[in-house]
Amino acid sequence: MITFKELSLPSKVLTNLTNLGYIHPTPIQERGIPLIIKGKDVVAKAKTGSGKTLAFALPLILKLDKEEYFPQALIIAPTRELSEQIAMECRRLAQYKKDVKIVTLYGGTSLTKQVASLEKGADILIGTPGRLLDHFSRQTIHLDKIKTLILDEADRMLDMGFADDILKLVSNLPKERQSLLFSATYPDNIDKLTKIILKNPIEIKIESKQEKIDVDEYVYSVDEKDKALVITLQHFQPSLAIIFCNTKAKTVEVSSILNKKGFDVATLNGDLEQYERQEMLLQFANGSLPILVATDLASRGLDIKDVDIVINYDIPMKSEDYTHRIGRTARANKSGVAISLCDEYGLTKLSEIQPQLKAKTINELRPNKNFYLQSSVATLCIDGGKKKKIRAGDILGTLCKDIGIENRLIGKINVYATHSYVAIDKSVISKAFNGLKNGKIKGKKLRIWWL
Ligand code: ADP
Ligand code: MG
């Protein structure tokens, strides 16, 4: 296994990678980074959770020209949540450079606010096709200086009907540019897009045996899916579980069934307001709501640490969706479990998209009837973030020193531009809430509420 040192990267980049805990490049990074640095167009195919983001983001950041005022890179992704996640990884990777401005542009958020942040200058634009095009037609983004175009999860964007939007955007980019396409799946329809957008691309396919993700897949043939779902959860007793449904309505229904049974559940679907989507995902990732019931909105790209089980409550319509759904577990060389619950229709569907999988009977599971996956932590939201110069350490300091809460009872702290969130053990949450409400963080009085 080689180290990043062997990819002849500048020492500042190496130091930053070490600080972030990245020592050995993954196979797609090892092969992709040198070619991308050279300026080649690349079509990259590598399994879910294998570090594709870093493979395209590291060279891109390396090549940013400090003197250039207009945006130099455009990253297009299928969902708002994935755009936000890519932006976060880019910010971490750009820490060694001064003042790299990364702006996310997606729907469900105020255009005015986005325009305001664009006006402060932007080096990297990251967003969903529709909103990016919207900004382009309003002339609020400038695409003449884009040197690198990246399509993450391109095949999904085609499925979602974004081909025209993408092509309109691309036709307004400079002809002299580098274009990169990344995904774990390449259905046939992608070829046409590739031919139009990329120039003599080099294909990198990582498909060796060791590249197979370490997921144990099980299929159960069941009559009553709701009952089977509870049995499955009570048998495997996961600490973080994602349940996929095919429709928004179903996610609401399944969430409410599990809630009534006593499970702590987050729901994610396109009907929610953007802030609700963010808060659901955040409460799942910080363990406050350890089950996420979602549509395929959550199937692409999302990297949530330590998801140990993925359950298909409904069988996806396409083989690619199956791959991406189960790829939410077993990321970064970890292992995981994927379960598909099939009624008669589900069995037919699954035999079309994953014919190698064989169904078993659910009777072989041994559920623990007392297991309800209830969280020991809940989340407090603080009305202040980076813009008020609040850092995670400030929140931790107030909680520990001023309010007297033990460090071990404080969970994940997330600080965003205007808000921060902290997960706190339920045994002390009232104390934390009142303490924060009546106290100050970094000398500032801030509004606090309970999610
Ligand atoms: P993909 O896009 O291939 O699905 P991601 O880019 O989301 O995968 O990365 C998956 C996880 O692996 C992330 O949590 C990321 O921080 C981690 N990761 C990426 N590269 C490395 C590396 N070289 N060493 C260790 N962890 C890595
Ligand atoms: Mg990805």
Please identify, by atom number, the ligand 1 atom nearest to the C-alpha of residue 303.
7
393 C-alpha to ligand 2 centroid (Å): 29
pLDDT reported for residue 211 = 66
Task: Give the C-alpha separation, 61 to 70, whole Å.
Answer: 15
Beta bridge partners of 310: 242, 338
Q: What is the dotted CATH code of the domain comprising 377-450?
A: 3.30.70.330
Task: Give the C-alpha separation, 101 to 417, whole Å.
Answer: 13
Ligand number nearest to the C-alpha of 323: 1
359-361 β-sheet, strand order:
265-268, 291-294, 241-244, 309-312, 335-342, 214-221, 359-361
Pocket test for ligand 1, best of 26, 58, 304, 329 (most atoms within 8 A of CB): 26
Greatest alpha-carbon span in the chain: 65
Task: Give the C-alpha separation, 426 to 29, whole Å.
Answer: 41
Identify the CATH homologous superfamily for domain 213-364: P-loop containing nucleotide triphosphate hydrolases (3.40.50.300)
Given a contact cutoff of 8 angstroms between Cβ atoms, the answer to whether 28 and 52 are in contact is yes
Residue ranges per structural domain of the chain:
4-209, 213-364, 377-450
**What is the sign, positive or negative, of the torsion defined by CA atoms of 258, 259, 263, 267?**
positive
Ranges of the chain whose pLDDT falls below 70:
208-211
Task: Give the C-alpha separation, 89 to 86, whole Å.
Answer: 5
Given a contact cutoff of 8 angstroms between Cβ atoms, the answer to whether 295 and 248 are in contact is yes
48 C-alpha to ligand 2 centroid (Å): 7
pLDDT reported for residue 411 = 97
Fold entry, domain 4-209? Rossmann fold (3.40.50)
Angle at 152 between CA 148 and CA 153, to 5 degrees: 155
How many other β-carbons are positioned within 10 Å of the β-carbon of residue 407? 8
Please identify, by atom number, the ligand 1 atom nearest to the C-alpha of residue 332.
12
Tell me the two tokens of residue 216: 């144990």
Please identify, by atom number, the ligand 1 atom nearest to the C-alpha of residue 48.
4
Pocket test for ligand 1, best of 20, 53, 207, 323 (most atoms within 8 A of CB): 53
Please tell me if the domain spanning 4-209 has the same topology as the one spanning 377-450.
no
Nearest CA to ligand 1 atom 5: 51
List residues near ligand 1 (CB under 6 A).
Answer: 22, 24-26, 29, 46, 48-54, 301, 303, 331-332
pLDDT reported for residue 213 = 81
In order of 2, 54, 69, 283, 443, the CA distances from 66 in angstroms are: 31, 21, 8, 37, 35
Ligand number nearest to the C-alpha of 154: 2
- Rounded to two decimals, the pTM is 0.94
